[in-house]
Amino acid sequence: MAIYRVKRIVLESFPVLTAGIIISLVAGYMLNSSIQKIAELPIILMMIPPINGIGGNIGSILGARLTSALHLGTLEPRLSGQRVLRRNMAASSLVSFIIFSLIGAIFFAFAYVSGIPLARSLSLALAFFIAGIALTAAVIVVTITSAFVSFRGGLDPDNVVIPIVTSVGDVLGVTCLLVAIIIVGV
């Protein structure tokens, strides 16, 4: 019995990938609508690829682990009483905390060395960290939801979870960063 069929992969992946393109355009629109703030402080533009990349990577790793666990039967598509789910969420959160702290520190150093005053450099680093933690929480929810819904719906979550997580994660990454910059008052 063939586990993977090309026809199934294409039929399940194509609509999700097409939707991903449309969703990613929303992230571009959001950036365009915030162009004045970005032009005022161009380092914000440098923060977008890392936050989207890290958010997508964390969601993709979690998605891959959850879909494997669903296929193996070590995880059921429900929230309560799932040790595998809790441990994977905890690991994703811990990795996120560490990596966003490290990258935030790098952004602080880069901003300060490039002549941005100390207080504003700290604010930039804090905004990046807050955005990263908020993004991680949102990506975890999107990942779990897409894995469980696709699995329950008879779709192979391997075909849909990562494209959904990375596309939605791009919009969420830009949103979280722009909101964190406003909240911190950069």
Higher pLDDT, 47 or 9: 47
Residue spans per domain, the chain: 10-184
pLDDT of residue 110: 94
Distance CA 127, CA 111 (A): 13
Q: What is the pLDDT of residue 34?
A: 79
CA separation, residue 56 to residues 60, 74, 153 (Å):
6, 24, 23
pLDDT for residue 159 is more than 80 = yes
Residue 2 has pLDDT above 80, yes or no: no
Q: Are 75 and 85 in contact (CB under 8 A)?
A: yes
| CATH C-level class of 10-184 | mainly alpha
Q: Residue 1's pLDDT is what?
A: 37
Contact 15, 159 (CB under 8 A): no
pLDDT band at 118, cuts 50/70/90?
very high
Give residue 3's pLDDT band: very low, low, confident or very high (50, 70, 90).
low
Taking phi over 0 as left and psi of -120 to 50 as alpha, with beta for the rest, 38 belongs to alpha
